[in-house]
Amino acid sequence: MKDLTRMLNPRSVAIIGASRDPEKVGHIILQNYINAGYSGRLYPVNKNADTVMGLQSYSSISKIKDSIDLAVIAVPAQIVPSVLEECGKAGVKSTVVVSGGFAEVGNKELQDQLAEIATKYNMPTLGPNCLGVMDPRSRIDTLFLPTYKLSRPQIGGVSFMAQSGAVGSTILDMISGEGFGLSKFISYGNAAHVNEIDILNYLMNDKDTNVIVAYIEGISDGKGFIDIAKKVTKIKPVVVLKAGRTSAGIEAAHSHTATLAGDYETHEALFRQFGFTIANDISELLYYAKILDSEPEPSGNRIAIVTNGGGAGVLTADAISLSPNLKLAKLGNQTINKLKKSMPPLVNLRNPLDLAGDADDKRYGSALAAISEDENIDMVIVIVLFQTPGADSKVASQLIRMKESIKKPMIVISIGTSYTQMHKIMMESAGLPVYDSPTAAASSLEALLKYHMYKRKIVSLV
């Protein structure tokens, strides 16, 4: 396994191909490091400039007297091997090759040269044809996408590995909008040297990563992948979106990153065998990531629904009933007695618990206080329709407060536009997962339950 520590937490970074031209990739990458507030030592490398963006520039990596932990290479494909050779001779600890023009366009021999050089110098090399890495904690950012186009997420516990830079950048933007945080982002492109196995191994042992999310087009080493798959889900959850489900998708994957995507059914069986959480699209990838990051292990599969809209409660009850491993909880007598004392007569004391359209923060608080102590309930779905008279910021604040005291998984369904979205971000940023449909909420609770069922089974066998 290749050690990616210096790549993800470098004390010194060289940008080879750093440019004064704001439209060049090397300029954007250097600008991102400066914007992120990277505190390590930055070294632009450009043979045609003495300074770049106010920093002393060097004609070659060999001219830098400092020890370099990471070199980001953004030069034309034809000269990448010679640049990588220079990095190896200079003792560079790791490299990221963002340049394209290798096996994805049929230039496999050039890509093989990169792998040979990286192996010769024992120099972990990510790419080529990738976005590279981002870590909001160490403030590294090799993404050649400016911040005004791609929002950077806040610090969090979800790490994301992606073979596709385009899919990866889209998901990063969506994570930022969802309000939950990122630990690491690794875009590995053609995987000439560092591959998905090395990345999984690193993230499995990374103390700042709670959940691993992966977009994979193909697996380069089946046996190696099985070896790491056996270990990783015993430690932390892995959510995977596998591209190339059809013959058209397999062909597209090969032209994209020169990947042999392989038979999807075989991959799916492998993922299920080792407890991976399988997403069918990008939305599910995000749904599952945030619930696995934020929610505790459920003690069972019984769910209570608290709502301020009867129809939304019915749809959610349907979604729960259609899920293979979930069921609606029956409220205990003690809980019903507590609710009788705090609820107005129009509230029907059953599950789903419809608090009525005028429900305010106090009614939500009283209902959740009673339900959270019910031993017949393992998980809670709270529906807040912010279009109703009583639903406002006080309700969102109440749910955030209740989240801190409730030891069971608790998620929110909230559907709407600008006013709803404002409160959704408010709750998400406080660690309370919010979903925009009953189906998304139910499938996410199903994913949470299935992962912990797998983990309990593995532990019991040890």
For residue range 177-209, list pLDDT tens digits in order: 777 799 999 999 999 999 999 999 999 999 999
Question: Beta strand 302-307 with 353-354: parallel, antiparallel or unpaired?
Answer: parallel
Domains of the chain plus CATH, in order, are 1-128 (3.40.50.720), 150-294 (3.40.50.261), 296-459 (3.40.50.261)
Q: Reply yes or no on whether the pLDDT at 462 is more than 50.
A: no
Determine the pLDDT at residue 256.
45
Kindly state the average pLDDT of the residues 377-386: 98
pLDDT at position 249 is 53
* Average pLDDT of every residue of the chain: 93
CA 294 – CA 290 distance, rounded (Å):
6
**Which tokens belong to 40?**
């390590």
Q: 63: how many CB neighbours lie within 10 A of its CB?
A: 12
Q: How much is the pLDDT for 189? A: 94
Q: What is the DSSP string of 200-253?
A: HHHHHT-TT-SEEEEEES--S-HHHHHHHHHHHHHHS-EEEEE---SHHHHHHH
Q: Summarize pLDDT for 233-268 with one digit per residue, the tens.
A: 999 999 999 987 765 555 555 444 555 446 788 899
Tokens, residue 188? 């590995």
d(CA 397, CA 403): 10
Beta bridge partners of 96: 72, 126
pLDDT of residue 92: 98
Instruction: Provide the 10 A C-beta neighbour count for residue 120.
Output: 11
Q: What is the mean predicted confidence (pLDDT) over 140-160?
A: 90
Poorest-pLDDT segment among 126-140, 236-250, 371-385, 396-410? 236-250
User: Distance from CA of residue 124 to its chain's centroid?
Assistant: 23
Both tokens of residue 447?
A: 């994913």
Rounded Cα gap, residues 191 and 151, in angstroms: 26
Whether the per-residue pLDDT at 164 is higher than 60: the answer is yes
Confidence of residue 459 (pLDDT cuts 50, 70, 90): low
pLDDT value at position 146?
85
pLDDT bin (cut points 50, 70, 90) of residue 174 is confident
What digits encode the pLDDT tens for the residues 304-339?
999 999 999 999 999 999 999 999 999 999 999 999
- pLDDT > 70? residue 386: yes
Angle at 286 between CA 310 and CA 127, to 5 degrees: 170
d(CA 403, CA 407): 8
The one-letter amino acid at 388? T
Distance CA 356, CA 344 (A): 9
The residues pairing with 42 across neighbouring beta strands, listed in sequence order, are 13
Res 377 pLDDT > 50: yes
Instruction: Inform me whether the pLDDT recorded for 97 exceeds 70.
Output: yes
**266 in Cβ contact with 183 (< 8 Å):** no
Average of pLDDT values for 204-221? 94
Tell me what the mean pLDDT of segment 420-449 comes to: 96
129 pLDDT band (50/70/90 cuts)? very high
